[in-house]
Amino acid sequence: MIMSNKTIILLKESNKLMEKVFKYNFKSSDIMLIPESYTPFDREDLATKINSKYTQVIFFDYYDQFYLLLPLISKKVLKKYIINVGISKLSEQYILTNLEQVMEYKERGLIDYIATTRYDLYIAFKNKISYVVLDYKDNEKKKNNKSVGILNDYYLEESNFYNELSAVALSNIKKATVLNSNIVTKKFGEDFSVEVEEEKDIEKLIYNNVVNLDCKFCDVSYIYFIMSMDAGIPCILGNTNILDDCTELKKYLVLESDDDVNEIKEKIEKSIEEFNSINKLYSSWRKKYTTISKKTIEKFTYLGEWELWKKFQ
């Protein structure tokens, strides 16, 4: 027997796309966007609401406001935390510190369950962390703009941004749409005859190109990838295990050497030329991904519900 649960999911206010993703995956749940760190909001009032209306609360990603709210939530409410980084990001001290803090909160009983969206982190901490595969589909189609989309920021250490931009310069497209640009990006475009456009809305950026690049050295976005591919736009990936279960598709879309500009350029052009073959492979892989996603989300949703019901009868 599974008790009837009522779930609230808390996201950072800036996570507009993830709000849509969670609505898609947790259809019967309520979602609340929490203000930025230094914006005052009534935590006690929110805690009272959670304690009276919900059987569980799900926190997504690291956020100071969440840490401050946790001690105010009743033991009768399941507290679940979803971490959205891969194991390679633990080389950054503040991310490692945040993970250690979440683990400590679980040991102290402030958090009941931890999950990750990244398979590598799940494997590393299998005895402590569950695995959640988030899905998303919104039926958007490509806008047929002949440009290459770069889905990561120039200022991120792992972004591989300028190698991606260099590959565009070598390709036969010569136009890039980017999330953020600066004086160096603009000068690069002038010097190497690449037209650089800026689009700060990630969804508009994804759907506005003939091919997308998410060639980060680590921690690529699964959601960006499936959004792009679902819309009929090939998406080239950096170091990732997302396609390990489909080696043929991986050969087309995943780089063997992340910083090889020529390989990125070749994959840009080949993915456009052979997209029909790629799409057949992707369609088969996509069905498996959806099945896995549904199973992991259902398991995570009901994790602990029965035990909690018995405990407080």
User: How far apart, in whole angstroms, are the C-alpha atoms of residue 130 and residue 300?
Assistant: 7
| Closest by CA position to 260, among listed 194, 184, 164 | 164
Predicted pLDDT at 2: 42
Beta bridge partners of 26: none
3-state secondary structure of 207: coil
In the prediction, which pLDDT does 155 show? 78
pLDDT score recorded for residue 309: 61
* DSSP states of 93-160: HHHHHHHHHHHHHHHTTS-SEEEES-HHHHHHTTTT-EE----------------EEE-S-TT-TT--
What is the number of alpha carbons within 13 Å of residue 222 lying toward its C-beta?
21
- pLDDT attached to residue 258: 86
pLDDT in tens, the chain (313 residues): 344 469 999 999 888 899 999 999 999 999 999 987 667 778 899 999 999 999 999 999 888 888 889 999 999 999 999 999 888 888 888 889 999 999 999 999 999 999 999 988 999 998 899 999 999 998 777 666 789 999 998 877 788 999 999 999 999 999 999 998 889 999 999 999 999 999 999 999 999 999 999 998 877 889 999 999 999 999 999 988 889 999 999 999 999 998 899 999 999 999 999 999 999 999 999 999 999 999 999 999 988 876 666 666 5
- All residues at 6 or more sequence positions from 159 whose CB lies less than 8 Å from its CB, including other chains: 152, 153, 216, 217
Q: Give the per-residue pLDDT at 313.
A: 55
Question: Which residues are within 8 A (CB) of 295 and not within 5 positions of it... i.e. 6 or more apart?
Answer: none
pLDDT at 311: 65
- Spatial contact of 63 and 12, defined as CB atoms under 8 Å apart: yes
Set out the domains of the chain in order of their start, with CATH numbers.
7-132 (3.40.50), 148-288 (3.40.50.2000)
Distance of CA 259 to the CA centre of its chain: 22
